[in-house]
Each structure stands twice: as structure tokens, then as C-alpha cells.
Amino acid sequence: MTDCFAGAVAERYDRAMVGIPVEPVVDFLLPLATGGALELAVGTGRIAVPLAARGVRVTGIDLSPDMVAQLRKKTDGIPVAVGDMTTTRVNEAFSVVYLVFNTIANLTTQEAQAAAFGNAAVHLKPGGCFVIEADRLPDERRRVFDLGDTHVGLDEYDPVTQRFVTDHFRRLPDGSWERLSVPCRAVSPAELDLMARLARLRLRERWADWDRSPFTTESPKHVSVWQK
């Protein structure tokens, strides 16, 4: 798995996420985290830090040393294992493992996505839950998801392979433009449920968002909980 979040991407990550609510995520995870929480792709600690501030023992796994360095500017109190979330192990078990913001799509093969479920299951206590926030399969081959003076975001999707590339074009202070391309793999809720079954997890609940609004055919994403 390639580290697409190194260098300047890690430095500006939190600024780019301003405006995306954190508290609903923490509120959702809190009752599941009585036996500790493991965040896959913990990154800069956008979720882990406020969850730990609510009294939860939080541990993280992340591929990017630069993202973890940004987390370390906030706290030294969250242990992080640097490595691939499909294979990296920590010597603990938790009541919840979670993966947010459609990061499952950053694993670009079905095998890798299924391996993430297997790794999550290994880290769960009996009765523990794996929580994923993920987008639905795209409806369009090309989609502009952000169009501004300093940032343009574009997804290009191939429904045959389920692969898509997210392109971020950012305007730099000197007026030039920088392009960052992130390879991804889209995955349906049904396919995720099958991956969960292979990891001996069962679907417990599925919602349209962290506020537990109903998941319908109109929902652009889902928050799913599978139980060990």
C-alpha cells in the first residue's frame, strides 16, 4: 500500500478536514468503546484524540509516519503502530475497531479490503464491534465533488474493476497548481457484509450517518457495525 499522505498532504490534512463534524462520530463510538478502541488509519488523530479525551483507551495503526507525526504534535498518549492496517498487529484486544471517512477504499484490491476485516477481527474481544464509514458505489463515471478557487476535486470511476482515482488539484501560493492522485477501490455494503462473514463477523446495524438516520436507497454513504 502506497503512502499517499506524506509530506505536505499530512501537514495540511487537518485544515482540509475543517467543517467535517467529529463529535457525532465520537458520540457513536463511545458506548462501543468500554473495552478500548483501535482506529485503523488513525492518521492525525482527528477522531482518536477527542475519543481519548472522553476517557477511552485508544490505540492506532497507520501507514504514514508523517500523519503520525502530526498526531504526535497533539498528544503522546495514543500508542500508534506504523504499518499496513491489513497486516499490522498490536498485542491487545478491544471492544471496538473502527475505520472512518471511506478509508476502506484506499485499499485498492478486494483481497486487501478483506484482509482489513480479518485484522480487525483478530483485535476484537468476543462481542466486540468493527465499525466502518464508507461511501456507496458511485453512480457516475466522473464526478466533481469540490470546485473552488484553491481546490478542485474529481473522481473517475471504472464500474468494471470498481477502481476509481480521486484527483485533488490545489492552487499553491505562487499561483501554480499541484495535483495529487489517490487510487481507490469502491465497495458495496453487500460486498463488505461478505468480507465480514469471512472474518466471522455478523452485521449488527447499518445507518446512513453517525446520527443513526435510516439507511435508504438515497443514502450516499453508510455507517455499518459488524459484531464478533
pLDDT tens for 17-46 read: 888 899 999 999 999 999 999 999 999 999
**Are the beta carbons of 215 and 208 closer than 8 angstroms?**
yes
Residue 25 placed within a domain: yes
For residues 99 and 168, state if they share a domain: no
- Spell out, as residue ranges, where the chain has pLDDT lower than 70: 1-3, 6
pLDDT, residue 3, reads: 67
Show the 3-state SS of the chain.
CCCCCCCHHHHHHHHHCCCCCCHHHHHHHHHHCCCCEEEECCCCCCCHHHHHHCCCCEEEEECCHHHHHHHHCCCCCCCEEECCCCCCCCCCCEEEEEECCCHHHHCCCHHHHHHHHHHHHHCEEEEEEEEEEEECCCCCCEEEEEECCCEEEEEEEECCCCEEEEEEEEECCCCCEEEEEEEEECCCHHHHHHHHHHCCCEEEEEECCCCCCECCCCCCEEEEEEEC
Domain housing 87: 8-137+187-227
Domain count, the chain: 2
pLDDT, residue 6, reads: 67
Listed residue (150, 97, 125) closest to 228, CA to CA: 125
Residue 55 placed within a domain: yes
For residues 129 and 148, state if they share a domain: no
Residue 196 placed within a domain: yes
Number of neighbours of residue 112 by Cβ within 10 angstroms: 17
For residues 101 and 172, state if they share a domain: no
In this predicted model, what pLDDT tens digit does every residue of 101-112 receive, in sequence order?
A: 999 999 999 999
Strand 202-207 relative to strand 221-227: parallel, antiparallel, unpaired?
A: antiparallel
Residue 159 placed within a domain: yes
Residue 37 placed within a domain: yes
For residues 74 and 168, state if they share a domain: no
What is the rounded CA–CA span in Å between residue 137 and residue 159?
9
For residues 43 and 112, state if they share a domain: yes
pLDDT, residue 204, reads: 98
Residue 3 placed within a domain: no
pLDDT, residue 9, reads: 76
